Amino acid sequence: MKLGQDWKPGVSVMPPTRPQKPPTRVQFLDEAVSEARSVVQRSPAWGYLAERGVSPYTALVYGLGYGIPVPRVSPEIISAAKQSLMVRSDGTWLWTGGVVYADPPIHPTVMNVRYIPEEQLPGGTRSFKPEKNHKTWGVRTRPLGSWRIQPTTRTVIVLEGLFDMLITAQKIHQLGRDADTVAVYTNGASPAAKMKQWFSQHNEFEYVLFSDPDAAGEEWTDTLTTCIQAGGAQVCAFKPPDHLDPDEAILKGWWPSIL
């Protein structure tokens, strides 16, 4: 190319990008969650919680609610729920017939529902069959239950599921350890990438893992141990006896002596 001649950059080929998902609006659902909480004590969820060993105190502290098929909420709230893919085309909410947990309780970033078995619901409550026994909406950037961490917290007990966390938190309260020990959960055996990052960035706590008694539980333990140790924090792991899930084992009297 001669000096002074105009130069044009070559045409670059941009790699294809995936269409962005619409932003979740779970944080706008306080009105709907309030209604779910207001009916929980006279709903099928109350008996189900008692059957699972969750005390009324624990249920109220964690703001548990009952999934109403069609909450009486404003159009703006329905729009937010639709944007978060929580509403079916017939207007029925996908949390129907389940124990509802919002994390944190006010302006939640995550909504988690544990479906109550069909046979424990009044006939016709749920017009669809859930694919799994639980479902989640929102963005998981930190372990669920971490809103209870306070400046005096020293130990964080980590579990996989909602009821594991609730029963563990209940035990912590019974032992009078609320000030220094908190239970959290990862919402399954495959923690989200940002959640794993949270564990590696918070080395001010000591971590105790209670795993489920299966291969997925072992992989979950290995994954979290790696993340926590990468951040420089101490971690130890326990597997409940007799192939029991953590909540079942704790209700039967199991509890690590170091705690």
* CATH code of residue 195: 3.40.1360.10
151 and 227 share one domain: yes
Residue 74 lies in a domain: yes
31 and 114 share one domain: yes
Residue 204 lies in a domain: yes
Residue 12 lies in a domain: no
Residue 69 lies in a domain: yes
Residue 128 lies in a domain: yes
At residue 28, the pLDDT reads 83
State how many domains the chain has: 2
The whole domain housing 63 covers 26-138
Structure-block tokens of residue 200: 């590696």
182 and 244 share one domain: yes
154 and 102 share one domain: no
Domain endpoint, select from 115, 138, 161: 138
Domain endpoint, select from 105, 138, 171: 138
At residue 26, the pLDDT reads 79
186 and 245 share one domain: yes
At residue 8, the pLDDT reads 47
Does the pLDDT value for residue 239 go beyond 50?
yes
151 and 133 share one domain: no
154 and 134 share one domain: no
Q: In which band, very low, low, confident or very high, does the pLDDT at 188 lie, cut at 50, 70 and 90?
A: very high
* Edge-to-edge strand ranges of the sheet holding 155-159: 181-185, 155-159, 206-210, 235-238
At residue 203, the pLDDT reads 97
At residue 11, the pLDDT reads 44
Domain endpoint, select from 138, 154, 176: 138
What span, in angstroms and rounded, lies between the C-alpha atoms of 226 and 210?
15
Handedness of CA 95, 101, 106, 107 (dihedral sign): negative
Q: How far is CA 96 from CA 29, 187, 193, 258, in A?
A: 15, 19, 29, 40
Residue 2 lies in a domain: no
Nearest to 172 by CA among 196, 191, 145: 145
At residue 2, the pLDDT reads 46
Instruction: Calculate mean pLDDT across residues 222-243.
Output: 97
Q: In which band, very low, low, confident or very high, does the pLDDT at 27 lie, cut at 50, 70 and 90?
A: confident
Instruction: Calculate mean pLDDT across residues 136-152.
Output: 95
159 and 236 share one domain: yes
Q: What is the pLDDT of residues 206-229, one digit of tens each?
A: 999 999 999 999 999 999 999 999
Q: What is the pLDDT of residues 72-105, one digit of tens each?
A: 988 989 998 998 899 999 999 999 999 999 999 9
Average pLDDT, the chain: 91
Residue 65 lies in a domain: yes
CATH code of the domain in which 75 resides: 3.90.980.10
57 and 123 share one domain: yes
Residue 1 lies in a domain: no
Nearest to 164 by CA among 193, 143, 179, 192: 143
Write the DSSP assignment of the chain as a string of letters: --TT----PPPPPPPP-PPPPPPP-GGG-HHHHHHHHHTGGGSHHHHHHHHTT--HHHHHHTT-EE--SS----HHHHHHHHHTT-B-TTS-BTTTTEEEEEESSSS-SEEEEEEPPGGGS-TTS-SS--SSSEEEEE---S-BTGGG--TT--EEEEESSHHHHHHHHHHHHHTT-TTTEEEEE-SSSS--HHHHHHHHH-TTSEEEEE--SSHHHHHHHHHHHHHHHHTT--EEEE--GGG--HHHHHHTT---TT-
Does the pLDDT value for residue 20 go beyond 90?
no
62 and 128 share one domain: yes
